[in-house]
Amino acid sequence: MRRETLKRLLDARAARRALVLVTRLDGGGEEIISPGSIDKGHPQISEITACLRTGRGKIVETGAGELFLQPFLPAPRLMIVGATHIAQVLVRLAREVAIEPFVIDPRTAFATTERFGDAKLIPKWPGEALGELGLDARCALVCLAHVPDIDDEALAAALRSDCFYLGALGSVRSHERRLERLKARGFGEEECRAVHAPIGLDIGSVTPSEIALSIIAEVVAALRAGAGADGGR
C-alpha cells in the first residue's frame, strides 16, 4: 500500500468521510473511491454501493483477477444526554466496543471532569451541543437526564436526524407522557416509534452499571443490524 493511501484513509476517518479501498490481490495495486464522486460507469459500482451500505468488505472476481473492496466508514458515536451515574459507566463501555462517547448536559454540576475523566463533555443544552457536533447515520443518541426539558430537546434533534439508534430512559408510564410532549412538539406517532423506551435490552438490570450494560448491548445490536453481522471495522 502506498503511504499516500494510508494517509488518505486516516484523513477521511478523522473528517468522518466514508471511503471504499479497492485492492488488487494479485499485485497490490489500489484505488480509493469516495461515494460523493463515484463514477456511475465503474465496473464494480453495485458491489461498491453494497459495501458502503453494509460496512462489510468483499472479494470481487474480475477477468483481470480478484479485487478486495473494503469500506471505511466513520467511527460510530454515542451521544449521551444527561451526565448521570449510568452515563459514567456507559462512557467506559462504549469505548470498550470502539464507539466514541460524548456527554452532553447543561447542568455544569453534573458534567464535570471529576466525574467523567477525559471523556468529551459538552456542558450545553442538547439543541446547541448536537447542532455543533452533528448527528449522522453513524451516531446513536441516548437520553438519560430524566429531566423532560433536557431529554425532549435532544429527542427532537435526534428524531430529525439519520442517527441509527435513539433511546430514552424511563418507565413505560413516563414514556407515555414523553410521547404526549413529543406530539405537542409536532412529531407523529409513527416517527416516535424510533425511540427505544424503556431503554436497553431486557436483562433484568437493577444497578446503574447493569442498566448501562443493557443500553450498550442494544446500541451494538442496532449498529450491527444496519451494518451486517461483521461490518464496520
Q: Which three cell numbers stand for residue 130?
A: 448536537
Contact segment (CB under 8 A) with other proteins among 54-62, 148-156, 177-185, 186-194 equals 54-62
Q: Write the single-letter amino acid at 201.
A: L
| 23 lies in the site for other proteins, by CB under 8 A | yes
| Interacting residue with other proteins among 19, 20, 54, 56 (CB under 8 A) | 56
Nearer to other proteins (CB atom), residue 5 or residue 161: 5
CB of 6 to other proteins, least distance (A): 6
What residues form DSSP beta bridges with 22? 31, 69
CB 166 within 8 A of CB 79: no
DSSP 220: H
Pairing state between β 77-81 and 120-122: unpaired
Nearer Cβ to other proteins (29/131): 29
Options 7-15, 78-86, 108-116, 202-210: segment touching other proteins (CB under 8 A):
7-15
Of 94-113, which residues contact other proteins (CB under 8 A)?
none
Q: Least distance (Å) from other proteins to the CB of residue 138?
A: 13
> For other proteins, what does the binding mask look like between residues 28 and 47, x meaning CB under 8 A?
x-------------------
CB burial string 130-155: b at 16+ within 10 A, e below:
beebebeebbbbbbbbebeebbbbbb
Q: What residues contact residue 134 under an 8 Å CB cut-off, 6+ apart?
A: none
Helical residues (DSSP H) of 99-171, grouped into ranges = 113-116, 126-133, 148-159
Query: Residue 10 interacts with other proteins (CB under 8 A)?
Result: yes
15 makes contact with other proteins (CB under 8 A): no
68 makes contact with other proteins (CB under 8 A): yes
Count of residues for the chain? 233
58 binds other proteins (CB under 8 A): yes
Kind of pairing between the strands at 58-62 and 65-72: antiparallel
| Single-letter amino acid, residue 215 | I
CB of 95 to other proteins, least distance (A): 12
Q: Closer to other proteins by CB, 11 or 191: give it.
A: 11
Q: Pattern 201-230, binding to other proteins, x per CB under 8 A? A: -----------------------------x
Query: Cβ of residue 78: shortest distance to other proteins, in angstroms?
Result: 16
Q: In angstroms, rounded to a whole number, what is the distance separating the alpha carbons of residues 105 and 126?
A: 7
State whether residue 30 is helix, strand or coil.
strand
Among 31, 34, 62, 75, binds other proteins (CB under 8 A): 75
